[in-house]
Every structure is written in C-alpha cells, then in structure tokens.
Structure 1
Amino acid sequence: MSTKTIAIPPSFMLGAAASAWQTEGWIDKREGQDSWPDLWYKHDRHVWHEGYGPAVATNFYQRFREDVELMKQAGLTHYRTSINWSRFLTDYEQGVVDERYAAYYDELFDEMQRHGIVPMICLEHYELPGYLLETYGGWASKKVVELYLLYAEKVFERFHAKVSRWFTFNEPIVVQTRVYLDALRWPYEQNTGTWMQWNHHKNLATAKVVKLFREKGYPGTVGCILNPEVTYPRSRAPHDVQAAERYDLFYNRVFLDPMVKGHYPPELIALLEKHQVSWDYTEEELAIIAENTVDELGINLYYPHRVKTPSRAWHPETPFHPAYYYEPFELPGRKMNTSRGWEILPEIIYEMAMRIKNDYGNIPWFVAESGMGVENEGQFRNAAGTIDDDYRIDFIAAHLYQTLRAREEGANCLGYMLWAFTDNVSPMNAFKNRYGLIEIDLNHQRDRRPKKSAAWFRKLRDERQLTLTIDDQWK
C-alpha cells in the first residue's frame, strides 16, 4: 500500500452526465410526444421500482437554474445531457419545432454559460418518439433514419451557436438488445434480424449526421457515446478466448468499427450470414459509413464482462442469439457492488484506453459515464443530514486514477464524467439505486442535497490533482 498523487491536466474535463427523459419530467409535454421510455412506463409501470418513472423524474425542466448552480458548486466543468427528440418536434414528418421546449434549452444553455459549464449534447438517449416506433417499427425503418436526420438538422440550426460538442446517440446498442435480443423490455420481441437492422441504421444515421454537420460548416465536433464492455475470457484456453472474441464482435465492434474505422468487421458479417440473420443494407449505405466517421467517442464504463465457452449445445428450435457463442462467467472472489450485482474493477478504464490507442487510431475520447449506484443510501446519512458516500468517493478515485494513468501513457483521453450529477430515474430501477453527487429527496418535493462526494469532487476540480492510497490491483 502506498499513497500516490497524480496531476489532473488543466484541459481535462471533470463533468457529469444525465439524459432528458431521466431528469426533465412530463410538465409541458404535449399529447403525442411520448418517447419509447414513456410508452414502456405507461404499458408496464409495475416493473419500475415502486412505480417511479419518467413522469416526474427530477423535475429538471422546472428546476434547471437551481441544478446548474449546484453543478457549479460540485465543480463540474462539463455537463452532458440529451435533447428529447420526442418533445423537440410537434410533427416528426415535417420537422415542426416545439418552440416552448426549444426555448427551455435556450435558457438552459445560457444558464450553463453564465456559470462556466460546457454543454455536451446527445441527439438521442433512448428518446425515440413512440409515434415512430408504432408507425414505422422504429430504427428497423430507413424512413426513421431520414426523419432523424431532419430532426438533427433542426437542432443544429437552432443551437449551433451555443453547443459545439454533439453526440448522435448514447449507448446505441442498448434498446434493441433489451427488446429484440433478450425480450426484457416493452414491446418484448426476440428477433435477431431486427436487432441487427437497428444497429445498422444507427450506424448509418450517425454517418449521415456527421456528413450534414460538416457540409453545413458548423463549428465543433460530432461523436457518439458507446458502451463497449471490457470482456475477459474465463481462461487462456482457445475455446474461452474465442468466446470472448465473439462477444466482442457482437456487442462492441458492431459499433466501434464502423464509427471509427468506417466498416463492419468481416468476421461479424460472416457469422450473421452463417446463421441466416437477415438485415437490409446497400453498398451506398456502407460507403456513407466509410466516408463519415466520428470526430470523438464517449465511452461508458461501469464493470467488466466475463465469458466462457458454452457448456451446452444450442437448442435447434431456438432462434439465433449471440449467446450461441458464450456463457457468462462469474470470477470467484471478485469485488462487488452488491446493490447492482456488478463487479468493481477500475482497470477496465486503463484496458479500454489502451485498446482505443492501439486498435482505433488513438481517436479523441473521454469516459462519458462512470459511477456507483447504491441502494438505501439514507442509512449513511450523518447527524447534519448529509449522506457520507465514502464508497462513491473511493470508486471515483480508483477509476479516475486509471483514466489519468492511461493518459500519462499516451491515451488520447479528454476527461472523466460521472453518472450522475443528481440521482435520477433509471430504466426499471427508477430511484432504487442512487448514483448522484446530489441527493434527490422523493419525500420532500424532490429537494436537492449535496452528498459528501460533491464537496470532494469540487476539491478535485479546484486543486487539479488526485491523491489516493493504492494497492497492487491499481498499479
């Protein structure tokens, strides 16, 4: 054990993230402006913890001025959120802007500028308009790609003078994986071909938005927020190594490769063909993807993924799923966040940084989400009423250390951002597991109270250095 101090460069971002649907609530939302999470909540409220969902969320829509002040107090240099596509337009086919909702963002960006906080904006953080899902099948349709491009055009026209860091999606693989691969979320359908079609159309939509942004000559950059999992095989045996490589192909490289390298991995295409997974693409679309790669990446990292080769044969009547090639593996003795059932391994950030450096041209990137969700945080409240979340401070310190260590070794990493600034609604978990530097009190009109970690994070920003006790696993 030893104490180590590592410098935080002046330009290194120390921020936090959220999304529109998880924070804003439904106030001023018009009839017909439901997003996919809104419809899921309306159809299946019972699966959301204690019935909490996006209807009220944290009421950021009305309380953003108060929250921006808290961002400043907590030392954020940057704040990433989304614009809710389902609310930004009143007519998705014609691109008619909801001026009331757009004016709210004008005010938000102005308030952030006054407090010296840089906005970073996603165009879609699961907020596919419900109308487009029900009318066209969502991202299974090429029509939706064109309507998304129209939406992006309207957003850029409105806000290009106030925002210069744009991202096409947050975690573009997640919705279709939960709905069409695993059938865990509404509308519950297992169809691997639909899953791959959604993947392709989001890759295509990203390329088209990049092309539009550059043709218009707007200042700034367009990237995407991905959630590739650092995947470890159970053993060094070839069969386990192959299981990890196959997992990586289906869940990581399906977006990393086209967005950064401009093409899908040939091995992925071959496996999809082998299993007769049908998805529609054209040579013209592949050319657009090849010619319009992203400027930067955000990478969401929470836990490692461990797999082994399957122990049983695939049932012949079960449609193909990537799990044909792997089974989950739980490492004995692993350190755990027992609230979420997630392994804690700070080195995943260093591993991902080196992979981006060595395999993806050292493209500019940043840790876009990293955080620790804990259940029943009220038990850690001190006599003054503040939550003493030392576990969160330790988690952030360990992961930030790995980020800075990788940067010192040449990784082109621009910053570290927390999930999340405040506690907020998560799919199904609602407010069960709390992630924020700022507590949201559901029993008292959603009052805000900084946790111990907020003052610690502010000190990081002010002193620009991280001091921590490290053991062998962090070296």
Structure 2
Amino acid sequence: MYLDNYPQKFPADFLWGGATAANQIEGAWKTAGKGLTTAEVVSKAENRKKMSMDQVDQASLAAAIADQTTTNYPKRRGIDFYHHYAADIKLFAEMGFKVFRFSIAWSRIFPNGDDQTANEAGLAFYDRVLDELAKYQIEPLITLSHYEMPLALTQKYNGWADRRVISAFTHYTETVFKRYGKRVKYWLTFNEINTGTWGFHATGAIDQGLTKNEQLQLRYQALHHQLVASALATKQLHQLVPTAQMGCMLARMQTYPATPNPVDVQAAQDADQKNLFFTDVQVRGEYPGFMNRYFAEQGIKITMQPDDQQILSENPVDFVSFSYYMTTVTQAAQDGTAVGNMATGGRNPYLQESAWGWQIDPIGLRITLNEMWDRYQKPLFIVENGLGAVDKLEDGKVHDSYRIDYLRQHIEQMKEAISDGVKLLGYTMWGPIDLISFSTSEMSKRYGFIYVDQDDQGHGSLKRIRKDSFYWYQKVIKSNGEDLS
C-alpha cells in the first residue's frame, strides 16, 4: 500500500538520555565486598591515541594485582558515582532524562564471579540507584556486562575461553533479574560484543604471546560462549519478566570502500559482514554462512555443544542497540584480499576528526540506521554516541559549543532516518557526565554535559559543574528533538 505521509518528528515516547559504565564511573573498587575486575588491571595508556585495553599478559596481571593503588589504574577510582549517585541522577533529571543507561558490576554482586551466594551489599547499592531513577521517572537501561568481569574468573578459567563461565554468568543474570526485573524494562547483555575480537577487555581471556591464528581461535571460541550466554540470559528474562525486553549491543563501524573499484567495494562489504556477524547471531539466531569461509581460511574451529544452535535460534533479542562514533574506509590489498577490519581503516578525506583521531560522520549514522533496520527489521536503539574533547573550565564555566555542534548534527541525521522509516527507540549519548576514558583511562578526554573536577592523576574536588551543553540538551529533550538551536 502506498502512503503519501511519513514520520517527520521523533516519536512521542522517544527515550532521550545518557549512557555510562560501572568501571568508568563507580569507583569504590574495594568497598562493601566488591571483587577486582578485568577493567581494573588494565593500566592507563602511555599514548592517548593508542588504546591499551587488551595489552594484558601474566606479568602485567600479577603487577596489577600487587599494586593496591589507583595511580596506574584510574578505573578503580572512576568519578566516585558510588557515593555521588543521588546528586548525579538529580542532575540527569534536571536535564529531563527519560532513560539512563548504566551497567551492573558483576563483581559487586558476585566478587569471584561464581560465588554461590550473592553479596547483599552490592545488590543493595543498585536498589538505591533504581530508587533514585524511579523518583524522577527515569527509565533504567541496564547493561549486564560492560567490559568488566570478575578477575577471579580470568584466574580460574581464563575468562570466556572456558565454557564453564556460561553457568557463572547465568547464575548472576538470574539473580539480578529476580531482584530488579519488575523495575527494569530494558536490558543489554554484552557491551560491544564484537570487540571481543580485540582481546582481553571483552573476553577476560589472556591471549598475549599466542600467534595471530591462535589468538583468533581463542577469541572466537570465547565469543561463542558469550553468544550462548546471551541467548540463555534472554530466555531467563522472558521467563521471569515477560514484559521486559532484551537487546544486544554492537560497536557499529560503518565501512566505506576507498574507491568504486569492485574489489574495494567487496573489501568494505567483507569488513561490514564481520562487524554485523554478532548481531546476525543474536537477532537471527544462527551463524551466518559468510563466516564459514572466514573460519576455514583462518583455521578456526568453533567447539559447540549439541544444543547450542537450538539455544541461539529459540532466544533472539527483542531490539538491537549499538554505539556509533565514526566510520572507516577500507580497500583491497594488491592480491585482492581485504585488509580492512571493523576497528581501524583508512582516513576519509571528506571528514573532520576529533583530537583523538576519530573521524566525525553524522550522515554515516543515518546510513547505518537504514542498513541495520533493513537487515533486521527490529527496533534500534543508539546507546552510545558522543565527542571526547579537552574541555577548559574558565571562571566556573565550560563553553563546549563544539560538543553541541557534534550532537546536533547527529540528532539531525537520526531524525532523517526516522523519516526514512527506521524504528528508533531512543538515544543515550556517551557519557552525560565526565568519566574515565575506556580506551586510555585518562580523565582529560571528556564527553559529558557535566564537568567533573578531577584530573588525570585523580586530583580534584569531584565537584559537578554544568557545561553549556547541559542546557542545550535540556532544551532538546523538552522539545523532543525539535529545538536543536
């Protein structure tokens, strides 16, 4: 049927808000029975443009465990959300948040990951967080695993490389679903699950010292265990809380061909397929055929249990969420094989970039929204998008017009995608309050609408200060995306 009208505004129930992760904001790393996590043993980067989250071997792990300070491990201190959560949520409410995405620290609930009994003090903390959100009618969106698993599981099993971690995870998920299920409608299993192909930060498995093929074997096997665990958690949620919804979460890296040369176009398609492989499994319930050739050529053999395929096929997610920060360009090598990947690629001469070299591409967001909607026909949710920048506090104020410009351009393209017919549930920008950078563990890389008085060494009053963008986003939410001036 032909329709001559189409949506030209954000839906009335659109969920505006912001996103964070426990390991980047909470702090209180040894408080009330919490166990050490994999995020808290990755030292800060020496080069702010070089990510350091997967450079962990047995020696660096031993050194991190022996070091009981936060000096080289800033994620241990975060921004002390653990003690400031009420005031921070009040600021989110002042902006008009409809939703707040945060993660539960698995090791705050089960310090060793596979404890039989949950840590009540940890459960009680998230009760208090949910109480504050309910006070302001802010919908919680909870990530179950955001780059931080209990370190004890790395020591005992080498993280997700061992299938036994699945039962530890589902014990944890069952616990939190029963505790918070009636208060939480939206859940995510694994944050940016596809980045497990990079290593330790997402798999909790130490693979330094292995050959490239051995690393790929370990990482994809660990990721298979996560995909099964995600499906089982989805099954649990649907059984325990039928009204709740489970989503998957992808680090979306839209890939462009460097030229119209068909071999470059094919290389870009190949890179995109490997990026979307993970959502294919979580949405469609089976491994896509295009991965068979890749696994064979790389010598990867995924060990599956007889019922794994049934578990995946019977428990697809309800919606698809993703982070979007940049796009990349790729081309074919001289022998015709693809050299691009989902994380890095060539520079795009038509785009500007941030101080950290991340290329800024608002139109790419519209492109990827359309492609993902066409591919899955399930509601989409942008759960991370933002600009890391060096903000200057002058006379008690931060004039961050560059952040406003960045967000405005992306929101405009979201609206265009909605007019294209994309069903978009919401937008939680990253991160609404300054936090410890995931990739480099520095504080100088600031994303927030709220400035936090803390430097890279952890010095400062932790005072929260509203930036210019705070008032701008307040206006955006109040107008439901109509007033972007």
How far, CA to CA, are the matches of 2:194 and 2:333 in structure 1? 23
How far, CA to CA, are the matches of 1:271 and 1:52 in structure 2? 37
Q: Match for residue 264 of structure 1?
A: 287
Deviation for aligned residue 1:26: 2.4
How far, CA to CA, are the matches of 1:325 and 1:216 in structure 2? 36
Q: Match for residue 331 of structure 2?
A: 308
How far, CA to CA, are the matches of 2:41 and 2:234 in structure 1? 29
Q: Which residue of 340, 364, 369 corresponds with 2:384?
A: 369
Deviation for aligned residue 1:270: 1.8
Aligned pair in 2 of structure 1 residues 115, 365: CA closer, same or farther (>3 Å)? same
Aligned pair in 2 of structure 1 residues 83, 66: CA closer, same or farther (>3 Å)? same
What is the letter of the counterpart of residue 411 of structure 2? L
Q: Match for residue 318 of structure 1?
A: none
Give 1:16-415 correspondences, 5 Å limit: 16-29=18-31, 33-41=35-43, 43=61, 51=72, 53-90=74-111, 92-179=113-200, 190=212, 191-250=215-274, 252-311=275-334, 328-337=345-354, 339-360=355-376, 362-375=377-390, 377-378=391-392, 381-383=393-395, 385-415=396-426
Aligned pair in 2 of structure 1 residues 346, 188: CA closer, same or farther (>3 Å)? farther
Structure 1 residues 67-91: Cα deviation after superposition (integer angstroms, max 9, x where no partner) = 0111112221110000001111145
SS of 1:54's partner is helix
TM-score with structure 2 length normalisation?
A: 0.86
How far, CA to CA, are the matches of 1:356 and 1:182 in structure 2? 25
Aligned pair in 2 of structure 1 residues 299, 181: CA closer, same or farther (>3 Å)? closer
1:308, 1:327 within 8 Å by CA — same for their partners in 2? no
SS of 1:57's partner is coil
2:147, 2:201 within 8 Å by CA — same for their partners in 1? no
How far, CA to CA, are the matches of 2:9 and 2:344 in structure 1? 40
For the aligned residue pairs, the C-alpha RMSD in angstroms reads 2.9
Q: Is there any run of 5+ residues in structure 2 with no aligned partner, and where? A: 1-7, 44-59
Q: Is there any run of 5+ residues in structure 1 with no aligned partner, and where? A: 1-5, 315-320, 470-475
What is the letter of the counterpart of residue 229 of structure 2? A
Structure 1 residues 425-462: Cα deviation after superposition (integer angstroms, max 9, x where no partner) = 12324213100110111143211101100111011111
Q: Match for residue 431 of structure 1?
A: 443
Q: Match for residue 429 of structure 2?
A: 418
Structure having the higher strand fraction is 1
Q: Match for residue 473 of structure 2?
A: 457
Deviation for aligned residue 1:245: 1.8
Structure 1 residues 259-288: Cα deviation after superposition (integer angstroms, max 9, x where no partner) = 111112211122211221133123420121
How far, CA to CA, are the matches of 1:325 and 1:447 in structure 2? 38
How far, CA to CA, are the matches of 2:408 and 2:305 in structure 1? 46
What is the letter of the counterpart of residue 23 of structure 1? I
How far, CA to CA, are the matches of 2:342 and 2:130 in structure 1? 46
2:248, 2:279 within 8 Å by CA — same for their partners in 1? no
1:8, 1:464 within 8 Å by CA — same for their partners in 2? yes
SS of 1:142's partner is coil
Structure 1 residues 78-131: Cα deviation after superposition (integer angstroms, max 9, x where no partner) = 100000011111453343111111111111101111012111101100111111
Deviation for aligned residue 1:30: 5.8
Deviation for aligned residue 1:414: 1.0
Q: Match for residue 52 of structure 2?
A: none
Count of residues in Structure 1 that have an aligned counterpart in Structure 2: 450
How far, CA to CA, are the matches of 1:255 and 1:55 in structure 2? 30
